[in-house]
């Protein structure tokens, strides 16, 4: 049985003032790769080899990405890499970095699951675990470790305003 650490206080790591740039979701996504196969009838695309996806300030690099869209326009993606790397500017101006060997994104639920050797970093704060589930809508994290491993979280104190 895996150890599960639910972190409602993880809003400290990604708080309400640190959302991904809201304008990014309205921008087109650009994907480059060594090879892509698109099935327009079934709304599925598989890209392999040095896949780079950008949307606004979001940048993702992976070895393979499978993307699909349902009849309601909700987007889904799965990817793998050695590792998969994510980077995005937040509305606060800070950068959010993440890495894992695999990921699963459910646009309908607004959930990103980072799987295997996963970590997420904002500023000097970092969470590491075997699986990190992040809900983009609620800003709620869940970090999980496999038996024998442990979740590791570093939350640095906020710097006090010198003017106060």
pLDDT tens digits, residue range 34-77? 999 999 999 999 999 999 998 888 899 999 999 998 888 888 99
* pLDDT score recorded for residue 22: 63
Which helix (H) or strand (E) segment holds residue 99: the answer is strand 95-106
In a domain, 72, yes or no: yes
Q: pLDDT per residue over 77-98, tens digit each?
A: 999 999 999 998 877 788 889 9
Tokens encoding 97: 């970095």
CATH number for position 135 = 2.60.450.10
Average pLDDT, the chain: 82
The answer as to whether 159 is a domain residue is: no
What percent of the chain is modeled with pLDDT above 90? 49
In a domain, 133, yes or no: yes
Cβ atoms < 10 Å from Cβ of 156: 11
The residue with tokens 């996806």 is: 53
Residue 44 covered by a domain: yes
pLDDT > 90? residue 10: no
Q: Is residue 162 part of a domain?
A: no
DSSP 111-163: EEEEEEEEEEEETTEEEEEEEEEEETTTTEEEEEE-TT---EEE-PPPPPPTT
Q: What is the structure's pLDDT at 29?
A: 82
pLDDT at 161: 65
pLDDT at residue 21 is higher than 50: yes
* pLDDT, position 96: 85
Asked if the structure places residue 95 within a domain, the reply is: yes
Please, what sign has the CA dihedral across residues 129, 131, 136, 142? negative
Instruction: Determine phi and psi for 20, rounding to 5 degrees.
Output: -60, 150
Asked if the peptide bond before residue 122 counts as cis, ω within 30 degrees of 0, the response is no
Q: Could you give the dihedral angle defined by the CA atoms of residues 107, 109, 115 and 120, in that order, rounded to the nearest 10 degrees?
A: 90
Q: Choose the weakest-confidence range: 10-14, 30-34, 136-140, 154-158.
A: 10-14
**Which has the higher per-residue pLDDT, 139 or 41?**
41
Domain contains 160: no
Q: Once rounded to an integer, what is the mean pLDDT over residues 116-136?
A: 91
Report the number of distinct structural domains present in the chain: 1
Q: Give the structural domain span for 79.
A: 3-154
Whether 27 maps to a domain, the answer reads yes
């Amino acid at each position: 049985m895996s150890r599960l650490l639910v972190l409602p206080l993880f809003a400290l790591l990604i708080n309400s003032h640190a959302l991904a740039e809201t304008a990014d979701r309205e921008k087109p996504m650009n994907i480059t790769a060594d090879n892509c196969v698109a099935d327009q009838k079934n709304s599925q695309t598989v890209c392999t080899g040095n896949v780079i996806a950008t949307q606004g300030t979001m940048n993702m690099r992976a070895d393979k990405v499978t993307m699909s869209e349902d009849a309601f326009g909700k987007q889904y993606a799965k990817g793998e890499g050695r590792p998969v790397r994510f980077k995005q500017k937040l509305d606060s101006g800070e950068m959010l970095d993440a890495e894992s060997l695999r990921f699963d994104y459910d646009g309908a639920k607004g959930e990103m699951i980072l799987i295997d050797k996963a970590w997420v970093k904002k500023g000097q704060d970092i969470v590491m675990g075997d699986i990190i589930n992040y809900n983009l809508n609620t800003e709620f994290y869940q970090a999980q470790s496999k038996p024998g491993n442990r979740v590791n979280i570093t939350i640095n104190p906020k710097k006090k305003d010198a003017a106060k």
